[in-house]
């Protein structure tokens, strides 16, 4: 993997000036850390394999630094920004780029179909605000239409968890591995942003699978997984019992039928093992609460 440095940077005074002129301060609660490293920008757009035929949805467009690079390569960019003042600034800054559409909205409250207005093929490229990483990724993989791929900036710890397979898969990783093949493209240091975050970041590419990795009802399947993670530090028979409202002996029996040791913890199960457990639970006709 590449490890871009911050030697080739957009001067931090530029974001500061733009923010000051617009009467804006970077909001920590919205995870506003603006990318200023040109090498990282190049790494992101290269990983997205953009062409003039592509439509891109960008989430959290901020000052438009990534938006501009996307617009140079893609046919159309739909830049979604929650912050009203930043949205106005984007509209002003990018008014001479006719292939960019600025949408002032909460990405979790607008569907891809609404943004695409009849188009069905698109990619997601974003420097995601870290506080909404999981909901945004879920939003796109559970939507219709799904993107052909996503290239997003994540907190490094989250990225490593999402890319992981059997042995340390969290709830988000399981959900993403149903529909995508994720891989880490590069790690990014805090100094590549203004203001710098307190954590390292990572660029992750999610390639959409032609077919889901397992044959399940996704909503019911993820409800089961959430039940399993309801008390993640406990052994699976206990955390599953807590989530499903059953006795540990009952969940131990279900796990035994699925060929899974009751003493294990949820994070150690592979996608295939969760699928076996789902089939056992479904065959037993059990209800799955929204844990």
pLDDT, one tens digit per residue, over 157-192 is: 999 999 987 668 889 999 999 999 999 999 999 999
- pLDDT for the residue numbered 6: 38
Domains and CATH numbers, the chain: 13-208 (3.40.50.150), 218-283 (1.10.8.100)
User: Could you tell me if 129 and 31 are in contact, meaning their C-beta atoms sit under 8 angstroms apart?
Assistant: yes
Query: Rounded CA gap, 157 and 101, in Å?
Result: 32
pTM: 0.88
8 A C-beta contact, residue 226 and residue 291: yes
Closest to 146 in 3D by CA, of 112, 183, 117, 177: 112
CB 105 within 8 A of CB 80: yes
Q: What is the pLDDT of residue 62?
A: 87
101-105, 190-194, 237-241 — which is least confidently predicted? 190-194
Quote the DSSP letter at residue 235.
Answer: -
User: Which residues, listed in sequence order, are joined to residue 101 by a DSSP beta bridge?
Assistant: 78
Express each pLDDT in 103-136 by its tens digit: 999 999 999 999 999 999 999 999 998 889 999 9
Cα separations (Å) of 276 from 81, 110, 172, 174?
Answer: 41, 34, 19, 14
């Amino acid at each position: 993997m590449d490890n871009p440095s911050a030697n080739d940077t957009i001067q931090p005074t530029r974001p500061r000036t733009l923010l000051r002129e617009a009467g804006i301060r970077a909001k920590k609660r919205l995870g506003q850390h603006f990318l200023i490293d040109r090498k990282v920008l190049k790494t992101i757009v290269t990983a997205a394999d953009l062409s003039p035929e592509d439509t891109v949805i960008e989430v959290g467009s901020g000052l438009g630094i990534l938006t501009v690079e996307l617009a140079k390569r893609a046919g159309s960019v739909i830049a979604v920004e929650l912050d009203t003042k930043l949205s106005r600034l984007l509209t002003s800054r990018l008014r001479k780029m006719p292939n960019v559409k600025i949408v002032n909205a909460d990405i979790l409250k607008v569907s891809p179909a609404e943004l695409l207005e009849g188009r069905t093929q698109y990619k997601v490229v974003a420097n995601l605000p870290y506080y909404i990483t999981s909901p945004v990724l879920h939003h796109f993989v559970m939507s219709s239409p799904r993107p052909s791929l996503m290239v997003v900036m994540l907190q490094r710890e989250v990225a490593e968890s999402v890319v992981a397979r059997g042995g340390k898969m969290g709830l988000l990783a399981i959900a993403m591995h149903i529909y995508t093949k994720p891989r880490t493209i590069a790690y990014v240091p805090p100094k590549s942003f203004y203001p710098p975050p307190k954590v390292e970041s990572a660029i992750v590419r999610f390639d959409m699978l032609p077919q889901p990795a397992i044959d399940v009802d996704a909503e019911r399947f993820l409800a089961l997984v959430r039940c399993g993670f309801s008390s993640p530090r406990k052994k699976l028979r206990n955390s599953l019992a807590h989530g499903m409202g059953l006795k540990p002996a009952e969940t131990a029996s279900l796990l035994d039928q699925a060929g899974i040791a009751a003493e294990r913890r949820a994070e150690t199960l592979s996608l295939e093992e969760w699928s076996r457990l789902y089939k056992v639970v479904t065959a037993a006709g059990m209800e799955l609460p929204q844990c």
